[in-house]
Chain A
């Protein structure tokens, strides 16, 4: 029941939607497609489902080539970002729809729809039309319909993006539980790195129609294989700094010097790009060897318990994420500390050279 994409591509006219992609999803796995809008997440899902045909390449499922097989003959289900239900069917009939098409016996339908409604807390709404439900209930109906038929492949295309924050948290907690005792492949598309980390599982980072990396979610977060993957998998955006290794130290264009320690100490001398996540750039000095960084403040976002400061440094925008409230005036000079011991170093071609292995 393994799903394998072999060199799959998709082009519409002259626009490349998906560059050659190889991916393998194991049965019972939870897989995340992480990428910004228009990165190709939806197209990739449509290819997996069989709604679109790849231009080149093959799609194999359970040891069979299913490339040209229409979606009706594959055992897949899908949930979209928009709340998609059949507006003329009741919630009951909506959930029952895949079973009805498969001509399941009536008492089986009743039992399974009842179970699904119970699981997703839709039992009181079974006789209503989807238009009379709240957004969260509509999306739960769509999820119930996707789960009712025991699909081998469940595709979730940003299912929580249109929900308000409370419902999103609630459903986010429920989702892994729904798939816990199933042996299906789940593919979940999201634009939010935080969501990927919360779900765990495997993650494929997508950038402009190409998978930049695929592997266990936390591993990718700690050791992105390239600057691109690190940028896709970072929110707020990761800070980058051009620097050069000279012996046991790194120096940047502004003359700052810091020690190369950990895996970075064994790097050859030469130019590198440093990447550091915003929560290692803080108002208070942390770590063994904090390096002072400063820049002109552009925006300060204050949430209840942390401050996100955007500042200009060496022609680039840097982001700092600190605990507590630190109100900086726009245009003021921010003097902050970067824990460069936690930084990742990328070679000039973008590939990862060294990443701190300690805390994430």
Chain B
């Protein structure tokens, strides 16, 4: 009985320890100078410094990376969810020829590696003058975010009984009145989860974002991965940038923390 109790807290504690270790190391590094990182192995900063963060917040090549990333991620989330809402409603409420195949086909869009699309997208966007714009990255990311959002929203919508729709019509609501005033609020949690997943995948995606931008819309992930600059390796700076990159995700997850498991199961719990 005692051993069982010990395992009860030991296992999660170890799990959290291993999980947090790399994150701790990242934060640890961000407060060190590059010399200390390269010179010695220290568990905490010997020469505590905020210079790395000051550089990021004052140098436009750094902070514009965040601005660009947030811009296209927000744009992408808005487009994905706006397009997925009607699609998911159709899949959840109507039967039509090939609906199941179409629904599965949506998910297969996530199966191809983004690298496959990098070259055609680059060529295409350059040709129509969208290269190096926020909308270019946002549109490219809808390739895998719309299917995901449709799957998540369909799950949440199918959890709402069809009789709710009918009751609203019987009460006299038009379709749009029902959809806007009753249905959307009813599946608000699902929309939140879908937004979170769109946000997350767009935020961490590097390849397409890097390929489709040069200067004007360059994302933070691209800035962060140029490890060497004219002044050599700036590991402290990169660690600080990495730390700041985690924050938006942690911030967003807070709002959907109660529904996130349902989201991972594509709304089918």
What residues of chain A have their CB less than 8 Å away from a CB belonging to chain B?
Answer: 46, 49, 51, 70-72, 76-78, 80, 82, 84, 86-89, 97-98, 101-102, 142, 145, 149
Contacts and interface: CB of A to CB of B under 8 A. Distances in A.
B103 to A, nearest CB: 19
A102 B172 contact: yes
Contacts of B167: 78, 80, 84, 86, 142, 145
A97 B163 contact: no
Contact of B173 (A51, A72, A76, A82): A72
B171 interface: yes
A86 B172 contact: no
Interface in B130-188: 161, 163-164, 166-174, 177, 182, 185-186, 188
Nearest to A74: B170
A72 B185 contact: no
B170 A86 contact: no
A101 B173 contact: yes
Contacts of A97: 171, 173
Contacts of A77: 170-171
Contacts of A145: 167, 171
Contacts of A71: 166, 169-170
B179 to A, nearest CB: 13
A51 B185 CA distance: 23
A332 to B, nearest CB: 47
Contacts of B173: 72, 97, 101
Given A84-B161, A84-B163, A84-B164, A78 B170 contact: yes
A97 B173 CA distance: 9
Chain B interface SS verdict (over half): helix
A72 B169 contact: yes
A270 to B, nearest CB: 49
Q: Which 5 A-B pairs have the closest CB atoms?
A: A88-B185, A101-B172, A98-B171, A80-B163, A84-B163
A316 B171 CA distance: 48
A35 B163 CA distance: 20
A51 B171 contact: no
A87 B156 CA distance: 14
Looking at B161, B163, B173, B188, the one whose CB has the most chain A CB atoms below 10 A away is B163
B170 A49 contact: yes
B169 A86 contact: no
Nearest to A146: B170
A338 B177 CA distance: 61
9 contacts: A71-B166, A72-B169, A78-B166, A78-B167, A80-B167, A84-B163, A84-B164, A86-B182, A102-B172
Given A71-B169, A72-B174, A101-B177, A82 B186 contact: no
A76 B174 CA distance: 15
Contacts of A87: 185-186
A82 B163 contact: yes
A330 B9 CA distance: 54
Contacts of A88: 182, 185-186, 188
A51 B186 contact: no
B76 to A, nearest CB: 27
Given A51-B170, A71-B166, A88-B182, 11 more contacts: A49-B170, A51-B166, A70-B169, A71-B169, A72-B169, A76-B170, A84-B163, A88-B188, A97-B173, A101-B172, A101-B173
A95 to B, nearest CB: 10
A216 B164 CA distance: 33
Contact of B171 (A80, A82, A101): A101
Nearest to A70: B169
A336 B177 CA distance: 63
Given A72-B172, A101-B177, A86 B166 contact: no
A84 B170 CA distance: 12
A51 B161 contact: no
A98 B164 contact: no
B172 A98 contact: yes
A77 B164 CA distance: 13
A203 B53 CA distance: 79
A86 B164 contact: yes
A307 to B, nearest CB: 39
B96 to A, nearest CB: 12
Contacts of A102: 172
A89 B188 CA distance: 14
Most chain B CB within 10 A, of A71, A77, A149, is at A71
Given A82-B161, A87-B186, A88-B186, A51 B172 contact: no
A70 B175 CA distance: 11
Contacts of A82: 161, 163
A86 B167 CA distance: 9
B171 to A, nearest CB: 4
Contacts of B170: 49, 51, 71, 76-78
